[in-house]
């Protein structure tokens, strides 16, 4: 397993991150624990979750499942554990968002559910436009000083949000953000315009979520032809209808290369210089293991160029403003 520093920090994480969004939703406790153990056995030390995952409003079920794995002997000291704050966890007005009150209270609740004394990467799940950065950083500084949080990250931020957040942290002489988690895959490349350049300039690791575009890049045409059920068959059919020509061309390319589509999609992300670790979201241990070959796959320049033809970047490609200007 190759390990890489998370952004400008000294923290080393695996090149793939185990996402746990399916834990408690489409994967029960036993299957979830099997995936956690299997990931660690194969060197994946990076686990991402959220206080809102699990499918039960306010329950933090996914965090509870991970906490149960630690309680049964899962080695906490070997895991780089990331979770998130922002989503509403109750009906009262202060049970969501990024107020100092909710950040601190949500962290305490996550720690209890996870059965741990610290969170390695505490991520803001979304930007909160109603809360000043000074208040957010005040709360994060408190948690870091108390030893309950090691690093702070963001998720679903625009490029200018990253810049504004980091500028506020710099004024307080605080480390600030170390990573940004964003939707990024061959089909969804908007972050190449502003988010990736901002992250690179600020020294943030990039953690792409939905690297297979909710399964569309994992052989959707073949699965449809073979009658393989998906997690959301109607949703997959609609998405496939929208992108069918590109997906068919993509799967033909993968077949010519003798490679699984999911491996090619992940390898493409791993080849992007800004990307630290794509977040895979398996529903079973078998799906987890299907992702691992991407770690040893290097795509040639001709393949990368062909992928750009099938899934064109926005505008002229690359960062703004060159993507649309001279």
- If you count them, how many residues does the chain have? 326
200 sits in which H/E element: helix 195-202
Q: How far lies 179's CA from each of 17, 119, 244, 274, 322, in Å?
A: 13, 14, 33, 11, 25
For residue 226, count other CB atoms closer than 10 A to its CB.
8
Q: Identify the sign of the CA torsion 49, 52, 56, 58.
A: positive
Among residues 3, 53, 122, 184, the one annotated as catalytic is: 53
d(CA 297, CA 262): 11
Q: Of 61, 116, 48, give the one whose Cα is nearest residue 280.
A: 48
Site of tokens 């993509």? 250
Question: Which residues does residue 149 pair with via DSSP β-bridges, in sequence order?
Answer: 119
d(CA 264, CA 252): 12
Q: Of 38, 37, 52, 46, give the one whose Cα is nearest residue 18.
A: 46
Respond yes or no: is residue 53 known to be catalytic.
yes
Asked if residue 321 has a cis previous peptide bond (ω within 30° of 0), the answer is yes
Assign 153 to helix, strand or coil: strand
DSSP string computed for 283-314? SSHHHHHHHGGGGG----HHHHHHHHHHSPPS
Phi, psi dihedral angles at 23 (to 5 degrees): -65, 125
Question: Which residues does residue 46 pair with via DSSP β-bridges, in sequence order?
Answer: 80
189 sits in which H/E element: none
d(CA 289, CA 285): 6
Two structure tokens written together for 105: 């209270």
Active site residues: 53
């Amino acid at each position: 397993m190759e390990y890489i520093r998370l952004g400008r920090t000294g923290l080393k994480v695996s090149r793939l991150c185990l996402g746990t969004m399916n834990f408690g939703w489409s994967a029960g406790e036993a299957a979830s624990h099997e995936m956690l153990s299997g990931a660690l056995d194969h060197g994946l030390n990076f686990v991402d979750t959220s206080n809102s995952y699990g499918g039960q409003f306010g329950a933090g079920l996914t965090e509870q499942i991970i906490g149960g794995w630690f309680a049964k002997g899962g080695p906490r000291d070997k895991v780089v554990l990331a979770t998130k704050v922002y989503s509403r966890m109750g009906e009262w007005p202060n049970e969501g968002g990024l107020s100092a009150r909710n950040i601190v209270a949500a962290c305490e609740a996550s720690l209890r559910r996870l059965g741990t004394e610290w969170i390695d990467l505490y991520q803001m799940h979304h930007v909160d436009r109603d809360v000043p950065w000074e208040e957010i950083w005040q709360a994060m500084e408190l948690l870091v000083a108390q030893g309950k949080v090691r690093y702070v990250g963001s998720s679903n931020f625009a490029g200018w949000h990253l810049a504004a957040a980091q500028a506020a942290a710099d004024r307080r002489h605080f480390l600030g953000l170390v990573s940004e988690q964003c939707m990024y895959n061959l089909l969804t490349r908007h972050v190449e315009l502003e988010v990736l350049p901002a992250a690179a300039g600020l020294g943030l690791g990039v953690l792409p979520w939905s690297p297979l575009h909710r399964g569309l890049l994992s052989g959707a045409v073949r699965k449809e032809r073979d009658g393989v059920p998906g997690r959301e068959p109607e949703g997959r059919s609609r998405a496939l209808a929208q992108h069918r020509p590109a997906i068919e061309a993509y799967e033909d390319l993968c077949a010519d290369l003798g490679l699984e589509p999911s491996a090619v999609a992940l390898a493409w992300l791993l080849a992007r210089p800004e990307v630290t670790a794509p977040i895979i979201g398996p529903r079973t241990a078998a799906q987890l293991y299907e992702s691992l070959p991407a770690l040893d796959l290097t795509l040639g320049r001709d393949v990368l160029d062909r992928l750009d033809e099938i899934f064109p970047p926005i505008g002229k490609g690359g960062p703004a403003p060159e993507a649309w200007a001279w």
